[in-house]
Amino acid sequence: MTQPTDYPSIAALGKALRDRRVSALELATDALQAVHNGPDPHLFLHVDDALTLAQARAADALLAQGKAGPLAGIPIAHKDLFVTRGWRTTAASRMLADYVSPFDATVVERLEQAGTVSLGKLSCDEFAMGSGNENSAFGALQNPHDPDRVPGGSSGGSAAAVAAGLVLGTTGTDSGGSVRQPAAYCGVSGIKPTYGTVSRYGVIAYASSLDQAGPLARSAADLVPLLDTMSGFDIQDSTSLETCNGVANAPGRITAAYDHCRGLFGSGGGQPLAGLRIGVPREFFGAGLATAVADAIEAALRVFESLGARRVDISLPLTRLAIPAYYVIAPAEASSNLARFDGVHFGYRTPQYQDLPDMIRRSRSEALGPEVRKRILVGTYVLSHGYYDAYYLQAQRVRRMVANDYRQALDQACDVIMGPVTPNVARRRGDHDHDPIADWLGDIYTLGANLAGLPALSIPCGLGGPAKHLPIGLQIIGRHFDEGRLLALADCFQQHTDWHQHTPRHVA
């Protein structure tokens, strides 16, 4: 059998495909077999062998014509928040259990045009609401490194599929850390780009001013072609950006910036990162941060210092307010976005009801999970008459202040910000069943980048937990439209460490 795990990178597999040492059809066939025989039956919410093999044959035709790009024939999979023709799109909810979209999301369309081969739709927290992938209506997921622990969320299925070696890349969405946190828990790399650089058209909305799509893969180098293909202006998305710092927001921008920065770093000899200022927020290293996580981050920072970077102590004083601000704004937007799922237009409708209001109430109560209902209720409350000014507008003011903290630090004190992704390693499944907001507290280091619209990524930097087998992630946050440099910095780190090559025991 030939699987993605037989190749160390997307570049290596792409070369094998272009050299005709392996075919896209062969890869897809073997990958589908691995998916069907996988240890976690809830990982994929929909697989259609015929659709996958049709894409593989199309990729082989591109390869035979010599028209193949770097992603032609590469097996990937999509978070079940991206609408897709042919495959069901459920958002991991009973509300959309049988929904099949008549069109593809822009991200899906662009990746398919690049020749990728989709294996299907990956589980996530219902409507992207959660931090452990325990909120799916179709079953909780396992972390490939320890089946008793969560893979993170809401893009837990996307991170787990890469960590398990089933695919080399996946799509995810990040509203408050939902790409970076599962990437950290599963020991893979994941990036949330600047808000507006990737189209949200065809992505089922959770919190529209925060949601941003991003890829997950083994390494930073693998993220580059995925993110570059996904990025670009889309007239169908009102939040899509036409230019990035005067440069057209189009495919090729991120690769060009990445290559430019790698060239600069490569000219530094033994100190390739000389002159780089790394801001380390003191608020990220206070009470609540596990010792193992703090030690791993400190070791990673020493690697960057050995490469010539200089550590700068900075303060992000409103870090503690990011959680309350986010959990007012996001539920408020969710209550508005999810109002369309009412049992009237599409989706689940209760079989028994007395009148229209009763039908809507029963349909939503029966089809939406407890976490989704909780956030809708919170959002409706903070938007209601008498509370809008006190809660929602105040949270928006705090959001602006948080963004100003990041902007001031990046403009005046440092070039990038580094710190932990999460306070702890992946928790055990069910640990937070009796604490309705415990998961929210774990987002403290990731929320700021979403509130400020900044690019941020997670890369593996160590191991922790009782048996020292659970991954730990390093977060790197940059200025707006700085994705290329962030990926080049992450690649430089991964050239001098091997944490990104650590795989679950059953994969190795």
- The catalytic residues are 79, 154, 178
CB 259 within 8 A of CB 487: no
What pairing do the DSSP bridges indicate for beta strands 75-79 and 169-174? parallel
CB 224 within 8 A of CB 258: yes
Q: Cα dihedral angle (306, 312, 316, 319), rounded to 10 degrees?
A: 20
Distance, in Å, from the CA atom of 457 to the CA atom of 221, rounded to the nearest integer, reads: 12
Burial of residue 433 (CB within 10 Å: 0-12, 13-18, 19+) is exposed
Distance, in Å, from the CA atom of 482 to the CA atom of 266, rounded to the nearest integer, reads: 18
Characterize 10-19 residue by residue with b for buried, 16 or more Cβ atoms within 10 angstroms of its Cβ, and e for exposed: beebbebbbe
Phi-psi region of 339 (alpha: psi -120 to 50; beta: other; left: phi over 0): alpha
Distance of CA 81 to the CA centre of its chain: 12
What pairing do the DSSP bridges indicate for beta strands 416-420 and 470-477? antiparallel
> What are the start-end ranges of the E strands in 125-174?
169-174
